[in-house]
Structure 1
Amino acid sequence: MKNRLFAEIDNAPLVLFRIFLGFLLACECFGAIATGWVKENMVTPQVTFSHIGMQWLQPLPGYGMYYYFVIMGLLGLMVMAGFKYRFSIGLFTVMWAGSYFVQKTSYNNHYYLLMLVCLIMFFLPAHRYASVDAVRNPRIKKLTMPAWCSWVMIVQVTIVYFFATIAKFYPGWLDGTFTKNLLERAVTNTTLHNIFIQKWFYLFIAYAGIAFDLLVVPLLLFKKTRTIAFVASLIFHLFNSITLQIGIFPFFALSFVVFFYPPEKIRKIFFRKKPPVIQGNTTYEYKNILYCFFIPYIIIQLILPLRHHLIKGDVLWTEEGHRLSWRMMLRNRNGHTHFKVIDKATGKELFYPINHRLTAKQRNGMVTKPDMIWQTAQLIKQEFNAQGKEVAVYADSHASINMGPYHRLIDHKTDLASAKWDYFSHCDWILLYDKNGNIIK
């Protein structure tokens, strides 16, 4: 095993992935400006829902976030070209992490994956061929890399697909409820809509999703099934791109395929002028990075998606442990939340202009998510405190999962202004229910 990990292999897959990645990073950042995503999520809002614990992280004022994304887009092009690679991928990773943690109104798992992959790429020698750096400094030019560089990427994508598969084994997915609701909203064409709402079709999509997530990596690993798996990936991700319109993610996911094909084949197709490498040598270059960074990193990646099992309640309802767990495109949440603000000194109810303070998108995202409801209560508390008033904030909140029955989500008798957010266990003010719909005390 040790010899296989440190065997010298052609670095063509890693170099090609760097080029793909840099291009996609630039597309994501410039596209976020062009489509209005930056404006909608970081410029227009008066307040932001940063990840809990990172409230100090706020968008730049004025047009600052446009410049921020332009810089990230340029860094993506630098990564693509392999120009000042460590600096460009390192700075992009930090800046992307900032844009990820600063808001969660438009939370998306592929933003998280992008952050992780950029972090991985910072430690890999992806700039040692077909790069400006290698032209400017021929001493760094190299045709090979240790085999574990490919395996790190394979392990990362395996973790994503594995936990995405496990998450789908719940009634709302297995009976096709979620896929039916998703396809109904995603497709406007009448003919396609009539097909997509057929039971046989949305059940097929539901179970095809499970089969794909479960089998795609094993099938890519074996020579006899690799091309079949690649074609299936192409169909799966293009279907998602067309129907769900989820930006670069389908193409980002497809780019990992380069690590599953023999490096020599990637070289022959994409780098025909690149000399072949001598097989059988081993290199222990970068071994400390493997042992000191990547092994702990992989362990953490295996633990994070399991943490919701240690928290009381169903994560599908409570959302506790939902993020960073590869629970992708899994459920619909609908509901409503109304806040009651009481002046503690007088006992009188106070008006808070929530429709003015939060955008429509922020309100729609907040009303069914306990963490964002709690953050809104904290915001209300802070703003009244600034006026010299101490207040209690109560939430009358009801939610529904996958168009199912509505239940009260938050204990309406709990003062959320005084309540604490528990990072590692269940917050008691998030109500739990048994199978009969009765509140669990």
Structure 2
Amino acid sequence: MFDQFLFKKIDNAQLVVFRVFYGLLVSAECYGAIFTGWVRRTLVEPQFTFSFIGFEWLQPLPGHGMYIYFTLMGTLGLLIALGYKYRFSAFAFALLWTGVYLMQKTSYNNHYYLLMLLAYIMAFLPAHKDASLDAKLNPKIRSHSMFNWVRWVIILQLFIVYTYASIAKLYGDWLDFSIIEILMQSKKEFWLIGDFLQLKWVHKIVAFFGILFDLLIVPALLWKRTRKAAFVLAIFFHLFNSIVFQIGIFPYLSLAFIVFFFEPQTIRNLFLKTKNITLDSSVSIPKTKGLILSVLSIYFIIQLVLPIRHHFFQDDVLWTEEGHRMSWRMMLRTRTGNIQYRIVNTSNGVTTHIDLDDYLTSKQKSRVACYPDFAWQFAQHLKKEYAKNGEDIQVFVKNKVKVNNGIYAEFIDPETDLASVPWKHFAHNEWILPSPTE
């Protein structure tokens, strides 16, 4: 029964059309990153780049290298949309995007993580079997069908993202609308809608609609009776996010995913207009069935477990940030803080206070002041810089942090030498002091 569901052949129009949207959108993201100055600000100008811990070796290319890098990714996006050398183009983009994701986290965004996951998923899917240059150049690969599991991989990934995003909003600062108020304050100067976004009743609607939309959108799109209404709400929701929060291609990528929820024939009639095709709706169990099911099972177990890992850490993730990334905790908090670095030469005891302006951009300074891994990484960087001159140092900080409308409180133990302690990925770092609520 399960095999018949997963390995039944269905129309591949949804996947083929999504491939085109996906390729065009990632191309726009990459070219746009160059033209808006994101690449320059994030990867070219900083003296030091905060990569994911463990990937410090992955640094931006020198000179104009990162502009070439993003131009190449944008071009790969166009090749994906055209379906030319699809496997190579899709895998190459996935690898290059992973590089960008891991080499910098100053501008971390959950959407970048989703795009990385999607890039690998799309690279494995047969999205080039129709309406592609590959199929035109090699008609033997042309097909109008795909296995049913292909469609459900995308749907299940979306369900996980939206469901965890909804559950994460069920906490005090979201339910009392205070975080919404903070987020909207930064939009006060928006033309035409700035004052409107400051209204209390608007905050309430945004809060409750955000929870319900994330929780119900996938089931509503799957059910035929509610599909059209859900589609209209999705357009409003994602366009609102695009205009107000300016989060790149993600709202439009989210709308592109909706092709997987409408009937394949509807999608084919709208976008492909293919005539006189014969669809294969048989059940065909491939020899690689065991491998396919094993890979998918492992992947989705990881996707289900990773977002809840913070529950196994000491203290609140809103305070410690441990387990926050890669867990679909979107727009849940704002952090402000201040930090002072003091280094002590171990040979002569001389103390020096560090001027962060000598090392970091303004955005990097704000991250160092608020996030423990940034503070730790910068301490490691200082130790290496001084070691080049033959000096062995200890690094101490005085650091206070405020989350949302909370109070400023000491965040990092001022007696801990951050240059000598290891970073724990899957356990609490004891030098992070307890939250004020604790």
Q: Which residue of 1 aligns with 2:100?
A: 99
Aligned partners of 2:255, 2:225: CA distance in 1, in Å? 19
Contact 2:235 2:255 (C-alpha < 8 Å) held by counterparts:
yes
Aligned partners of 2:25, 2:325: CA distance in 1, in Å? 23
Structure 1 residue 275: Cα displacement:
3.8
Partner of 2:75, secondary structure, is helix
Aligned partners of 2:408, 2:269: CA distance in 1, in Å? 58
* Correspondences of 1:252-267 after superposition (within 5 Å): 252-267=253-268
Contact 2:8 2:147 (C-alpha < 8 Å) held by counterparts:
yes
Structure 1 residue 351: Cα displacement:
4.1
The answer to whether structure 1 residue 311 and structure 2 residue 313 are counterparts is yes
* Correspondences of 1:312-327 after superposition (within 5 Å): 312-327=314-329
Alignment deviations for residues 172-195 of structure 1 (CA, whole Å, 9 cap, x no partner):
111111111111102414763333
Aligned partners of 2:434, 2:249: CA distance in 1, in Å? 37
Structure 1 residue 434: Cα displacement:
5.6
- With over 3 angstroms needed to count, the CA separation of the structure-2 counterparts of 1:277 and 1:317, relative to structure 1, is farther
Alignment deviations for residues 191-248 of structure 1 (CA, whole Å, 9 cap, x no partner):
6333322221111111110010011011011000011111101000000101111111
* Correspondences of 1:122-133 after superposition (within 5 Å): 122-133=123-134
Letter in 1 for 2:113: Y
Partner of 1:29, secondary structure, is helix
Structure 1 residue 313: Cα displacement:
1.1
- 1:383 equivalent among 382, 385, 391: 385
Partner of 1:193, secondary structure, is coil
* Correspondences of 1:217-296 after superposition (within 5 Å): 217-278=218-279, 280-285=281-286, 287-288=289-290, 290-296=292-298
The answer to whether structure 1 residue 426 and structure 2 residue 432 are counterparts is no
Aligned partners of 1:37, 1:283: CA distance in 2, in Å? 47
Q: Which residue of 1 aligns with 2:209?
A: 208
Give the 4+ runs in structure 1 shifted more than 4 A.
Answer: none
Alignment deviations for residues 327-357 of structure 1 (CA, whole Å, 9 cap, x no partner):
1111111111111111111212124342121
Aligned partners of 1:189, 1:380: CA distance in 2, in Å? 40
Partner of 2:194, secondary structure, is helix
Percent identity reads 47
Single out whichever of 281-290 and 162-171 deviates more from structure 2.
281-290
Single out whichever of 7-16 and 259-268 deviates more from structure 2.
259-268
Aligned partners of 1:123, 1:381: CA distance in 2, in Å? 43
Letter in 1 for 2:254: A
- 1:397 equivalent among 385, 399, 407: 399
Structure 1 residue 282: Cα displacement:
1.5
Contact 2:409 2:436 (C-alpha < 8 Å) held by counterparts:
no
What number of residue pairs does the alignment pair up?
436
Q: Taking structure 1 as the reference length, what is the TM-score of the superposition?
A: 0.96
Q: Which residue of 2 aligns with 1:50?
A: 51
Alignment deviations for residues 284-330 of structure 1 (CA, whole Å, 9 cap, x no partner):
34635531322211111111101111111111110001111011111
Single out whichever of 339-348 and 152-161 deviates more from structure 2.
339-348
Q: Which residue of 2 aligns with 1:350?
A: 352
Gaps of 5+ in 1: none
Partner of 1:428, secondary structure, is coil
- With over 3 angstroms needed to count, the CA separation of the structure-2 counterparts of 1:190 and 1:69, relative to structure 1, is closer
Q: Which residue of 1 aligns with 2:14?
A: 13
Gaps of 5+ in 2: none
Aligned partners of 1:27, 1:59: CA distance in 2, in Å? 21
- With over 3 angstroms needed to count, the CA separation of the structure-2 counterparts of 1:8 and 1:274, relative to structure 1, is farther
Q: Which residue of 1 aligns with 2:334?
A: 332
Partner of 1:367, secondary structure, is helix
Aligned partners of 2:168, 2:405: CA distance in 1, in Å? 19
Partner of 1:395, secondary structure, is strand
Partner of 2:186, secondary structure, is helix
Q: Taking structure 2 as the reference length, what is the TM-score of the superposition?
A: 0.97
Contact 1:187 1:243 (C-alpha < 8 Å) held by counterparts:
no
Q: Which residue of 2 aligns with 1:372?
A: 374
Letter in 2 for 1:375: Q
Letter in 2 for 1:213: D
Aligned partners of 1:304, 1:132: CA distance in 2, in Å? 38
Structure 1 residue 166: Cα displacement:
1.1
Single out whichever of 12-21 and 335-344 deviates more from structure 2.
335-344
Aligned partners of 1:233, 1:120: CA distance in 2, in Å? 23
Letter in 2 for 1:400: K
Partner of 2:418, secondary structure, is coil
Contact 1:144 1:277 (C-alpha < 8 Å) held by counterparts:
no
